[in-house]
């Protein structure tokens, strides 16, 4: 039960959160207008009906009762009936005799709703005190109707329901048995569920209506502003690299704008789009699945869809497009057309790729530590049975002396030059990166021991380039030690364990006099 209330309150908080797109607080006037429109007719009907019923009750007390209001019980009932009659008359008068803003009328509706419930609560309290468990309890019916019909905000609903329920339970603690109280609490929980479901459904409808109104307003504004002819529209589509389409759900025919043929070399008319997609040899399976899912959603009546899809062009390249589509229905609410646009997002994709590359590359122009480690771990998982995988660690000897003698700017220049030599001498398939300070790493997956000889030759070539390196401040006497390790797949070696083996080999190279190359790791493949 505690978990249910926590989830319910959290749902109300999310639904009622301010400044979110499509939330009620963002369109208070629309909400007030809708609430007043629905509550006004409801309160007017209830007030008239209740007023007539209270007139009958007063007639019953004065005329049909022998004692009239001379008894204490009849007098109390008379006061209840008279107070509700006055409230009904005030409610009817406010609705018929006064003109006011939606905000003020909404507030009056909330006050009247609270007074109605308060009257019902006190009436049931007295009825329980007079007759005990044999009393006629109408409060549960009133609360249920209040939850299911009255349009109100969650905070108002929760305050009324909780406050009046606590009041009722406190005042009847000695007159109503536990079983009836338990049933009453269950009724309160049911009211919460009913109101939550109704509020969520109403909010969804309101958000959809606001979106439709916004789209219609935008459309009318654009139409009034530009007054486009069909030819002008086609020009804009071509210049903006937009592709428009219309898909007939019943016949399966699809029609595309001219840009579809110009940019991608595809036919402007496809007689059976679903079959065309399924039989396409150029589309990837993932893209086929996306397009077919879109078509299935159109058949289900999904109003709006937005996806990123990849479509091959007649140039043999893949083109990224953003699909924005809506479903058009007939008068019976059945899907008829799927219409929309394809927006070329190749520039955005390339920009994202550049940003990602900048995030993976450090100032030396090669992969940084997270990027090279990520590549290594992923590549090790993708190794074929016949492939070998090696790691080469290169560390500059006495690099601290360079920083101390020439300064850190020159040190950074040396690091960038070393990275450039490693990148220039790397053979196809090899990835190089810097893992910190003056320590560099190269990773490679090959299929035979020739790859090991190539790795050894790569290390020797880079060492040679480093020793003959020239900088604006003159020649710098600097060497590099290299440790190389091969993945031992029989031991199910991890990336970190491979790094540890290469680091041991690097330590052995430095111990042997620096500027050396040493191998470690899988002894079977050592040169």
DSSP assignment of 3-43, as one string? HHHHHHHHHHHHHH-TT-TT-GGGSHHHHHHHHHHHHHHHH
The answer to whether residue 306 is domain-embedded is yes
The tokens describing 11, both together, are: 């749902």
Looking at the fold, whether 378 and 491 belong to one and the same domain comes out as yes
Pick from 211, 319, 330: which is nearest to 266 by CA? 319
Looking at the fold, whether 346 and 374 belong to one and the same domain comes out as no
pLDDT band for 155, please (50, 70, 90 cuts).
Answer: confident
Query: What confidence tens digit (pLDDT) does each residue in 382-397 have?
Result: 888 888 899 999 999 8
Looking at the fold, whether 337 and 388 belong to one and the same domain comes out as no
Which residues, 6+ apart, have CB-to-CB distance to 353 below 8 Å?
A: none
The answer to whether residue 177 is domain-embedded is yes
Cβ distance 368 to 362 under 8 Å?
A: yes
Regarding predicted confidence, which is higher, 370 or 348?
370
Structural domain total, the chain: 3
Looking at the fold, whether 205 and 262 belong to one and the same domain comes out as no
Looking at the fold, whether 391 and 317 belong to one and the same domain comes out as no
The β-bridge partners of 327 are 338
Interval 493-508 mean pLDDT = 92
Residue 341: strand, helix, or coil: strand
Query: What confidence tens digit (pLDDT) does each residue in 307-334 have?
Result: 888 887 777 777 788 888 888 888 888 8
**What DSSP string runs through 223-278?**
HHHH---HHHHHHHHHHTTEEEEEEETTT--EEE-HHHHHHH---SEES-HHHHHH
pLDDT band for 24, please (50, 70, 90 cuts).
Answer: very low
- Give dist(CA 502, CA 210) in Å, integer: 63
Looking at the fold, whether 511 and 389 belong to one and the same domain comes out as yes
Which of 331, 350, 369 is a domain's end point?
A: 350
Burial class of residue 362, CB neighbours in 10 A (0-12, 13-18, 19+): middle
Pick from 140, 127, 210: which is nearest to 176 by CA? 127
Interval 243-251 mean pLDDT = 86
Tell me which residue range forms the domain holding 157: 2-213
- Give dist(CA 328, CA 337) in Å, integer: 5
Looking at the fold, whether 205 and 87 belong to one and the same domain comes out as yes
Which of 294, 329, 350 is a domain's end point?
A: 350
- Give dist(CA 21, CA 4) in Å, integer: 27
Pick from 159, 151, 124, 154: which is nearest to 140 by CA? 124
Half-sphere exposure of 405 (CA within 13 A, CB side): 12
The answer to whether residue 247 is domain-embedded is yes
Q: What is the CATH number of the domain that holds 380?
A: 3.30.70.270
Looking at the fold, whether 323 and 342 belong to one and the same domain comes out as yes
Place of tokens 């390790």: 485
The answer to whether residue 474 is domain-embedded is yes
Which of 184, 213, 242 is a domain's end point?
A: 213
pLDDT band for 222, please (50, 70, 90 cuts).
Answer: low
Backbone angles phi, psi at 248, to 5 degrees: -85, 115
Give the per-residue pLDDT at 474.
65
The answer to whether residue 356 is domain-embedded is no
Looking at the fold, whether 199 and 235 belong to one and the same domain comes out as no
Q: Is the pLDDT of residue 3 over 70?
A: no
- Give dist(CA 57, CA 443) in Å, integer: 93
The β-bridge partners of 318 are 312
Looking at the fold, whether 44 and 191 belong to one and the same domain comes out as yes
Strands 335-344 and 242-248: what pairing?
antiparallel
Give the per-residue pLDDT at 518.
92
The dihedral over CA atoms of 507, 510, 513, 516, expressed in degrees to the nearest 10, equals 100
Query: What confidence tens digit (pLDDT) does each residue in 291-314 have?
Result: 888 888 888 888 888 888 888 777
Say which range, 76-85, 132-141, 251-260, 418-427, has the weakest mean pLDDT.
132-141
Cβ distance 479 to 463 under 8 Å?
A: yes
Interval 67-77 mean pLDDT = 81
Tell me the pLDDT of the chain averaged across its residues: 81
The answer to whether residue 72 is domain-embedded is yes
The answer to whether residue 494 is domain-embedded is yes
Cβ distance 333 to 343 under 8 Å?
A: no
Looking at the fold, whether 281 and 411 belong to one and the same domain comes out as no
Query: What confidence tens digit (pLDDT) does each residue in 102-116 have?
Result: 888 888 888 988 899
Give the per-residue pLDDT at 224.
61
Looking at the fold, whether 147 and 120 belong to one and the same domain comes out as yes
Provide the angle, in degrees to the nearest 10, between the axes of the packed helices 178-226 and 2-16. Answer: 20
Give the per-residue pLDDT at 442.
95
Cβ distance 445 to 429 under 8 Å?
A: yes
The tokens describing 465, both together, are: 């380039």
Give the per-residue pLDDT at 432.
94
> How far is the CA of 324 from the CAs of 56, 306, 338, in angstroms?
62, 5, 10
Give the per-residue pLDDT at 15.
46
pLDDT band for 423, please (50, 70, 90 cuts).
Answer: very high
Q: Is the pLDDT of residue 16 over 50?
A: no
- Give dist(CA 353, CA 370) in Å, integer: 17
> How far is the CA of 516 from the CAs of 128, 461, 464, 506, 513, in angstroms?
98, 12, 11, 9, 7
Query: What confidence tens digit (pLDDT) does each residue in 451-499 have?
Result: 788 899 999 999 999 888 877 666 677 889 999 999 887 778 899 999 9
pLDDT band for 223, please (50, 70, 90 cuts).
Answer: low
Q: Cα-atom radius of gyration of the chain, to the nearest Å?
A: 39
The answer to whether residue 59 is domain-embedded is yes
pLDDT band for 35, please (50, 70, 90 cuts).
Answer: confident
The tokens describing 124, both together, are: 């049931």
**What DSSP string runs through 125-153?**
HHHHHHHGGGS---HHHHHHHHHHH----
Q: Is the pLDDT of residue 441 over 90?
A: yes
- Give dist(CA 517, CA 515) in Å, integer: 7
Backbone angles phi, psi at 439, to 5 degrees: -110, 125
Q: Is the pLDDT of residue 241 over 80?
A: no
């Amino acid at each position: 039960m505690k978990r249910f209330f926590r989830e319910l309150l959290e749902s109300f908080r999310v639904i009622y959160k301010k400044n979110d797109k499509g939330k009620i607080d963002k369109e208070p006037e629309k909400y007030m207008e809708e609430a007043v429109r629905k509550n006004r007719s409801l309160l007017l009907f209830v007030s008239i009906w209740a007023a007539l019923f209270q007139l009958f009750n007063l007639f019953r007390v004065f005329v049909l009762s022998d004692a009239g209001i001379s008894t204490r019980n009849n007098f109390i009932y008379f006061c209840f009936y008279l107070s509700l009659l006055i409230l009904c008359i005030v409610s009817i008068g406010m609705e018929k005799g006064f003109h006011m803003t939606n905000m003020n009328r909404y507030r009056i509706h909330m006050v009247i709703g609270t007074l109605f419930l308060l009257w019902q609560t006190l009436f049931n309290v007295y009825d329980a005190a007079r007759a005990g468990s044999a009393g006629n309890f109408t409060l549960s019916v009133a609360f249920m109707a209040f939850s299911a019909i009255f349009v109100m905000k969650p905070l108002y609903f929760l305050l009324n329901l909780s406050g009046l329920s606590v009041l009722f339970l406190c005042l009847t603690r000695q007159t109503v048995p536990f079983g009836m109280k338990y049933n009453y609490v269950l009724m309160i929980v049911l009211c919460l569920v009913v109101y939550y479901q109704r509020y969520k459904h109403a909010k969804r409808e309101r958000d959809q209506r606001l979106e439709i109104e916004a789209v219609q307003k935008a459309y009318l504004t654009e139409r009034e502003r530009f007054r486009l002819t069909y030819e002008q529209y086609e020009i804009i589509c071509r210049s903006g690299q937009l592709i428009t389409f219309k898909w007939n759900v019943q016949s399966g025919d699809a029609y595309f704008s001219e840009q579809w043929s110009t940019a991608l070399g595809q036919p402007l008319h496809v007689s059976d789009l679903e079959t065309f997609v399924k039989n396409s040899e150029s589309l990837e399976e993932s893209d086929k699945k996306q397009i077919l899912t879109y078509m299935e959603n159109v058949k289900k009546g999904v109003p709006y869809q937005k996806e990123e899809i990849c479509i091959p062009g007649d140039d043999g390249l893949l083109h990224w497009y953003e699909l924005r589509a809506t479903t058009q229905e007939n008068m019976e609410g059945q899907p008829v057309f799927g219409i929309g646009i394809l927006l070329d997002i190749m520039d955005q994709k390339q920009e994202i790729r550049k940003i990602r590359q900048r995030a993976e590359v450090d100032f030396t122009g090669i992969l940084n530590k997270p990027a090279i480690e990520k590549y290594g771990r992923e590549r090790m998982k993708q190794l074929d049975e016949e492939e070998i995988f090696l790691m080469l660690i290169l560390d500059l000897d006495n690099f601290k002396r360079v920083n101390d003698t020439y300064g850190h700017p020159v040190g950074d220049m040396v690091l960038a030059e070393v990275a450039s030599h490693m990148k220039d001498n790397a053979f196809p398939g090899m990835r190089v990166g810097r893992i910190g300070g003056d320590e560099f790493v190269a990773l490679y997956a090959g299929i035979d021991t020739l790859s090991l000889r190539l790795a050894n030759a790569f290390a020797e070539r880079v060492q040679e380039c480093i020793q003959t390196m020239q900088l604006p401040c003159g020649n710098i006497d600097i060497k590099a030690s290299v440790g190389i390790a091969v993945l031992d797949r029989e031991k199910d070696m991890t990336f970190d364990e491979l790094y540890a083996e290469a680091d041991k080999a690097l330590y052995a190279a430095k111990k042997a006099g620096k500027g050396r190359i040493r191998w470690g790791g899988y002894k079977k493949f050592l040169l």
